[in-house]
Amino acid sequence: MADPETFEVVAVDAGSSARLGRLPTAHGTLDTPVFMPVGTQGSVKATSPRELEELGAQIVLGNTYHLNIRPGIDVIEGCGGLHGFMGWNGPILTDSGGYQVFSLSRLRKIRHDGVEFNSHFDGRRIFLGPVEAMAIQRRLGSDIAMVFDECPPYPCDRDYACQSVTKTLRWAALCRNQPRADRQQVFGIVQGGEYAELRRRCARALVGMGFDGYAVGGVSVGEPADVLLRGITDSLRELPGEKPRYLMGVGKMWQILEAVAQGVDMFDCVMPTRFARNGTAFTRRGRYPVKAGEYRFDTRPVEEGCECYACSHFSRAYIRHLLNVNEILGVRLLTIHNLHRYMAFMREIRKSLAEGTFGELKASYADLRRADEAANGEG
């Protein structure tokens, strides 16, 4: 019988490496593959925790860097940790802030022991390293904490990527030995840019340190789709099958299917909520701009056959109107729909794995990549 505190692989697809799993955490067990809505500032934009529960979200993601700047870790800890502060009773994964090393490149200085930042909010100088990132995540009380890493840009030369791997591994070793919150899990992050041997080296070293799970980082940073997929493959080759695998920041549905087929268990991305704020709807067959004039008289729901609250009660014409006059309800309704689409998509994947039909499901989405490429640039 499996240890109730460890990741369990329930079923494996006969035609690929896709697997159905269960990941226990301090705030509930996750059914995997799972998609995590992003709540960078302690809130999944335009939705309440109750709505997230109703949509079937199992876990949300928060960001160490942003929450430490505002409202500050003392405030959150004084309000019962991140769960109590945001009123979410389910599992939470916190990113370490390492991605800001990449995204705030003009405001930073990388040192051997971490990164100095000028705050994007008020310009004050702050420092974040592996010790500090783990201490913040411990005080936040997240269920899964990520190691502090350096995410190299694309493109970058091999020497830069090699230096990033060296820093990431040094910092990961420090993170591994820091105090944790009760039952808090810590995941290592594989880096290495587009260089297969660096990714394999990084993955092997992280596995040797013995983390609770492993993430593929440094992808979806502007590289072509084939390079992104190759980076996933190169990383997964060295990761143990008995541990959960998390693909960071990848959220196109066809990409999720390809990654699930390779054995990835966890995903996160801002796309469902960010694209909703820009007026774009996701459907089973691709995405489209609800704000477009062609939907002015369209009485159909955002997605025909969808059972979400927005599609059950409102037309494309109405939601288009709300978006175009900047009524916040329009963003809320489209966010609800997009998150519902993603949650339904992941349930569909899990069901197919339980029934042994993942290959057929993947084939049914064969046109999704072409539809996505055709819609490229929307949102």
Residues 6 or more apart whose Cβ sits within 8 Å of residue 160:
152, 193
- Give the dihedral of Cα atoms 251, 255, 260, 263; nearest 10 deg: -100
**Three-state DSSP class for residue 11:** strand
What is the edge-to-edge ordering of all strands in the sheet holding 114-118? 108-111, 114-118, 125-128
Q: In Å, how far are 38, 40, 271, 272, 377 from 287, measured between CA atoms?
A: 19, 24, 11, 10, 11
Residue type, 357: T
Residues 6 or more apart whose Cβ sits within 8 Å of residue 69:
119, 120, 121, 126
CA proximity to 338, closest of 35, 18, 20, 89: 35
Q: How far apart (Å, rounded) are the C-alpha atoms in residues 110 and 101?
A: 8
Active site residue 122: no
H-helix or E-strand spanning residue 159? helix 158-176
**Three-state DSSP class for residue 196:** helix
Residue 269 in tokens: 């991305």
The answer to whether 144 and 213 are in contact (CB under 8 A) is: yes
Catalytic residue of the set 95, 212, 234, 372: 95
The answer to whether 179 and 137 are in contact (CB under 8 A) is: no
Give me the phi and psi of 365, to 5 degrees please.
-105, 20
Q: In Å, how far are 299, 317, 355 from 304, measured between CA atoms?
A: 11, 14, 26
Active site residue 149: no
The answer to whether 81 and 139 are in contact (CB under 8 A) is: yes
Catalytic residue of the set 13, 149, 234, 268: 268
Catalytically active residues, by annotation = 95, 268
